[in-house]
Amino acid sequence: MSDAIKRIGVFTSGGDAPGMNACLRAVVRTAHEYGIAVTGIFRGYAGMIEGESTELTTRDVSGILQKGGTILKSARSKQFRTVDGRIAAAENVRKWQIDALIGIGGDGTLQGATIFSAEHNIPIICCPGTIDNDLFGTDYTIGFDTAINTAIQSIDRIRDTADAHNRLFLVEVMGRDAGFIALHSGIGGGAELVLIPESNQSMEYVKKRILETMSNQLRSSIVIVAEGDELGGAVHIASSLEDDSSFDDIEIRVCILGHTQRGGSPSANDRVLASRLGMASIDALVQGHTNVMIGIVHDRITLTPSEAVWTQKKIMNFDLMKLADVIR
């Protein structure tokens, strides 16, 4: 064990994700098991700069496992993108006598951690926390499973009303740069078509596919659109369809699921994943690792250099795209 670590700081950063609290709980409890004290830093890098922190004992993280959001709050800090912002954050980390940091967040968090650690020589280990599941170095991120379950529940409800009216619904799900939520919720929700940034479906193809579905089978249709799809999002696609006379007889509606996907109690899978990653982050730290992200690949804990996580792109499993297409 590394005796140099007497106190860690832990923070949640970027878009919150269900399971962040479960991860925090595991971090705090594992650290105390090793005799390491824990400072909780509020509002991610923003709170690090502004000096917002609290002592966290094992009791302080009781009753949070099942809670969505994050008790430490979260933020996207513009100031931390500046050299001066990071100097102010480092001064507070030193003032709090923190020897190493654990960050729970997505690609922005990882990028910040890599730069901050290099500039100020502060060891940082991250746990992947984002509903988008778009991080290289892990099969799953904390919050993804809950988000797709939330999306599927909404899609089921939309299916009822879509069927009742024989309508076409364009359902937009989150995923700024990636289609993992769209693809998984599309398969799980039985969508007739899934549009994701990773595949290049043209508007002509989209129109052809929707017309085929709706005319051949005389039924409703649900198209799942990832927020980051290059055709421009559900509202834009709907207006392109409405401008085309072939769609004159089809009633089109748009539903944007938005931040509903970010909230809610974490699923069982997310609670277990978050707890495993949280514990592994402290284990890795005491074993002397630094500047890595803890991931899970083929159900085994892995360590990936933080820089690789945000500089490399996670590969989409195109077998799933084929599946969505074949069983639509």
- Of 29, 43, 184, 262, the one binding ligand F6P (CB under 6 A) is 262
User: Considering only 78-86, 173-181, 202-210, 292-300, which stretch makes contact with ligand F6P by CB under 6 A?
Assistant: 173-181
* Separation between Cα atoms, residue 152 and residue 187, nearest integer Å: 9
Is there binding between residue 227 and ligand F6P (CB under 6 A)?
Answer: yes
Q: Which residues of 220-252 are buried (b: 16+ CB within 10 A; e: fewer)?
A: bbbbbbbbbbebebbeebbeebeeeeebeebeb
Which positions from 277 through 306 interact with ligand F6P, judged by CB under 6 A? none
In the block, tokens 């084929």 appear at 322
- Of 85, 103, 129, 175, the one binding ligand F6P (CB under 6 A) is 175
Q: Which residues of 279-301 are buried (b: 16+ CB within 10 A; e: fewer)?
A: bbbbbbbbeebbbbbbbbeeeeb
Q: Which is nearer to ligand F6P, 190 or 263 (CB)?
A: 263
Q: Which is nearer to ligand F6P, 114 or 130 (CB)?
A: 130
User: Considering only 115-123, 130-138, 205-213, 229-237, which stretch makes contact with ligand F6P by CB under 6 A?
Assistant: 130-138
Is there binding between residue 44 and ligand F6P (CB under 6 A)?
Answer: no
Is there binding between residue 25 and ligand F6P (CB under 6 A)?
Answer: no
Q: Which is nearer to ligand F6P, 75 or 101 (CB)?
A: 75
Is there binding between residue 106 and ligand F6P (CB under 6 A)?
Answer: yes
User: Considering only 51-59, 171-179, 234-242, 246-254, which stretch makes contact with ligand F6P by CB under 6 A?
Assistant: 171-179
Q: Which is nearer to ligand F6P, 236 or 289 (CB)?
A: 236
Active site residue 132: yes
* Separation between Cα atoms, residue 149 and residue 155, nearest integer Å: 10
Number of residues in contact with ligand F6P, rule: CB under 6 A?
11
User: Considering only 21-29, 169-177, 198-206, 279-287, which stretch makes contact with ligand F6P by CB under 6 A?
Assistant: 169-177
Q: How many CB atoms lie within 10 A of CB 211?
A: 17
Q: Which sign does the torsion angle of CA 210, 211, 214, 217 carry?
A: negative
SS (H, E, C) 247-303: HCCCCEEEEECHHHHCCCCCCHHHHHHHHHHHHHHHHHHHCCCCCEEEEEECCEEEE
Is 220 within 8 Å of 168 (Cβ atoms)? yes
Shortest distance (Å) from residue 16 CB to ligand F6P:
8
Q: Which is nearer to ligand F6P, 123 or 137 (CB)?
A: 137
Catalytic residue of the set 16, 107, 132, 134: 132
Shortest distance (Å) from residue 177 CB to ligand F6P:
8
* Separation between Cα atoms, residue 143 and residue 132, nearest integer Å: 8
Is there binding between residue 276 and ligand F6P (CB under 6 A)?
Answer: no
* Separation between Cα atoms, residue 166 and residue 49, nearest integer Å: 53
* Separation between Cα atoms, residue 105 and residue 111, nearest integer Å: 10
* CA-CA-CA-CA dihedral for 220, 221, 222, 225, to nearest 10: -150
Q: Which is nearer to ligand F6P, 176 or 322 (CB)?
A: 176
Is 254 within 8 Å of 71 (Cβ atoms)? no
Shortest distance (Å) from residue 216 CB to ligand F6P:
34
Q: Which two tokens stand for residue 246?
A: 């072939």
- Catalogue the active-site residues: 132
Q: Which residues bind ligand F6P (CB under 6 A)?
A: 15, 76, 106, 130-132, 174-176, 227, 262
